[in-house]
Amino acid sequence: MNEEKLKQIRSFQIRHGIISRSPLVAKIIGTILEIAETDISVLITGESGTGKEVFAQALHNASKRKNNKIIAVNCAAIPESILESELFGHEKGSFTGAQAQRKGYFEMADGGTIFLDEIGEMPLSVQVKFLRVLETKEIMRVGSEQSVKIDVRIVAATNIPLEKAVAKGKFREDLFYRLNTIRLKLPPLRHRKEDIPLLADFFINSFAKQNDIDFTGMTKEAYLALMEYGWQGNVRELKNVLESVTVLERNNLVTPEIVRNYLPKDKIFSQNANLPVHTGKSPEQAEREIIYRMLLSLRSEIAEIKSLVLKKESVISQEGDFSTAIVPFSNLSNLPEINLPVATPSENRTKEEEISRLQDLSNFSVISDAEDVRPIDELIKDEIYKALRITNQNRRKASKMLGISERTLYRKIDEYEKNDK
């Protein structure tokens, strides 16, 4: 992607309030820039809470229809018995309670965009009439025999796989192909973890500012705990959790333990190291990942013990030691080893300025100094030999301590002995 394109994407993000540095999101925005000025129908897919309405609004605001309305309709929230009337309108006396003629959402959106959320929940009887609207650009009110021309752009969204709905006979195949001309597939938050610190900072500051809350701050390890969680509810879940933390923990320096208190106990980690799950990885890869997770957890615990021993609220060693970095909320941006985005709630920035500031915080990494990074294999080897020393070379106890099978431990030791020869 060339420099000019990247500038266009960044400018688009600032204008439309999209906080991300993920390449996956940048690719989606690149597609939006290509199709924004057209009237082509767009299908937005993705899990619940990934921001489908945000992207639909951004697409509308970037189009030639931006000076007209965008009407958002949640197809799953309207009872089937009245959905047709809500979408296409009705004539006076067309059914009991129809005391006057009423325009539907399609007519209200004339000249603009209609965003049909949860399109997969639309009943088959309404799908037939919606397909006709796509083909003829005309609607017919309930109880009327006269067509009404409309000029709307269709943006639909769903969190269920429409292909499966088609296979089950719950969604019309011809309608699916008409909608699926351009598809924007939004990634779940667990696939764009580099965005979590940016979003966390934005949500905390926005909520604190709106409610005049003086929020103390979060440790770096707390940000890492947010990144460790699976976020099945995606951005919406992250926002809700952080609003609770901002209100209830305003006077505390938020640690990983505090963060985990606000998360479902059975879903703290994106993968539970203690349960057998199908990951599509080889046993060796899965075990290596489990051990690495244990090392990260151990490192976090050591950091907390150090902070208690030193009896300081904020400690940053002259060498920039990651394990002792526990700092006030307003100072996180000055850390030498982790570039977490932080702003104090009292700073008077507009939404656009705040988003621009967040987008400028590039190259986020947990550890930025190359000399501090060691290969995972070396870390695993060190921990295995450490466990063996602690247990007096008792391999059964060492395997339990490491959380791996005894068979795996034997294989690893044989591997290391062969390499050391």
pLDDT at position 370: 39
Tell me, what's the pLDDT at 356? 62
How far out from the chain centre does Cα 297 lie? 23
User: What counts of helices (H) and strands (E) characterise the chain?
Assistant: 17, 9
* pLDDT (0 to 100) of residue 363: 39
How much is the pLDDT for 285?
55
The model's pTM: 0.65
Between CA 230 and CA 269 the distance in angstroms is 6
CA dihedral 379→382→386→392, nearest 10 degrees, is: 140
- The reported pLDDT for the residue numbered 253 is 94
Provide the residue count of the chain.
Answer: 421
Q: What is the structure's pLDDT at 10?
A: 93
- pLDDT value at position 378? 72
Residue 283 and residue 404 in contact, taking contact as beta carbons nearer than 8 Å: no
Sole residue written with tokens 């609003």: 243
Which residue ranges of the chain lie beneath pLDDT 50?
A: 268-279, 281, 308-309, 311-346, 361-373
**Confidence at residue 315, expressed as pLDDT on a 0 to 100 scale:** 35
Tell me the C-alpha to C-alpha distance, in Å, between residue 34 and each of 56, 108, 112, 115: 14, 27, 19, 19
Give the integer Cα–Cα distance in Å for 241 and 221: 17
pLDDT at residue number 277: 43
Q: Which of 217, 275, 266 is CA-nearest to residue 245?
A: 217
Sorted by where each starts, the structural domains of the chain and their CATH numbers stand as 3-91+101-187 (3.40.50.300), 193-270+312-366 (1.10.8.60), 273-304+374-421 (1.10.10.60)
Spell out the alpha helix ranges (H) of 211-326.
220-228, 234-248, 256-261, 283-310
- Give the Cα separation of 99 and 122 in Å (integer): 26
